[in-house]
Amino acid sequence: MQDRLLSAADTALRTLFATPHAAHPSPATGIPEAQLSAEEKKLSASYMRVNHVGEVCAQALYTAQAMVTRDEQLREHLLEAAQEEMDHLAWTHQRLQDLGERPSILNPLWFAGAFLIGTVAAKVSDRASLGFVEETENQVSLHLQSHLELLPAHDAPSRAVVSQMKADEERHAAAAVDAGALPVPLPARMLMKIASKVMTVTAHRI
């Protein structure tokens, strides 16, 4: 368990304070930057900051669940998903830099909250933990779809990143179902939506 705690601490430090590195090229690679107005650039950056926060939370969630589970196969599955989410973290971080903006200054708070939720879900049971993954990924996918509708139409690099992220999140949700996820009870789903709303509204600005 000590090794897992140290691994989780290392992930937290790398997620919050190091420049993330992707295993796969960003979908934005090779796509020319559009001539965005100052208002459009600020809008794109706001949505990419929200998406970056989501990926910070994904690292916390998967790391906590991998730390708690006693099922080695599930642990490997969670760590693999976390690595894929690290690509998203790096892609959104790069887009923020390209747009001249910074990540949310509240990222440590978002990470801590998601880590706590992931730990609690994992302690209930592995299937409950997977159910939380499924519901989280489904909600993230809906957010990403709304971002595709709201991003400037000619910001092709940002749209490419969001489109690929959406496809990956839907795949992660399907994988959780295949692994035996239990549906999240309605009250918990509603609380998750409220928490997500608070996070996205705040991260849009801060």
Considering the entire predicted model, what is its pTM? 0.89
Q: Which residues contact 83 (CB under 8 A, 6 or more apart)?
A: 23
Higher pLDDT, 49 or 120: 49
Per-residue CA distances from 149 to 140, 145, 172 (Å)? 14, 7, 22
pLDDT bracket for residue 71 (50, 70, 90): confident
Q: What angle do the packed helices 38-68 and 156-178 form, to 10 degrees?
A: 20
> Rounded to an integer, what distance in angstroms lies between the CA atom of residue 13 and that of residue 79?
16
The one-letter amino acid code at 4 reads: R
pLDDT bracket for residue 31 (50, 70, 90): very high
Burial of 45 (0-12, 13-18, 19+ CB in 10 A): buried
Half-sphere exposure in the Cβ direction for 85 (13 Å, CA): 29
| Strand, coil or helix: 155 | coil
Report pLDDT digits (tens) over 166-177: 999 898 888 888
Could you count the other beta carbons within 10 Å of the beta carbon of residue 150?
Answer: 11
Nearest Cα neighbor of 74 from 36, 121, 20, 27 is 121
> Rounded to an integer, what distance in angstroms lies between the CA atom of residue 102 and that of residue 49?
8
List, as one string, the DSSP characters of 84-125. HHHHHHHHHHHHHHHTT----TTHHHHHHHHHHHHHHHHHH-
Q: What is the pLDDT of residue 2?
A: 63
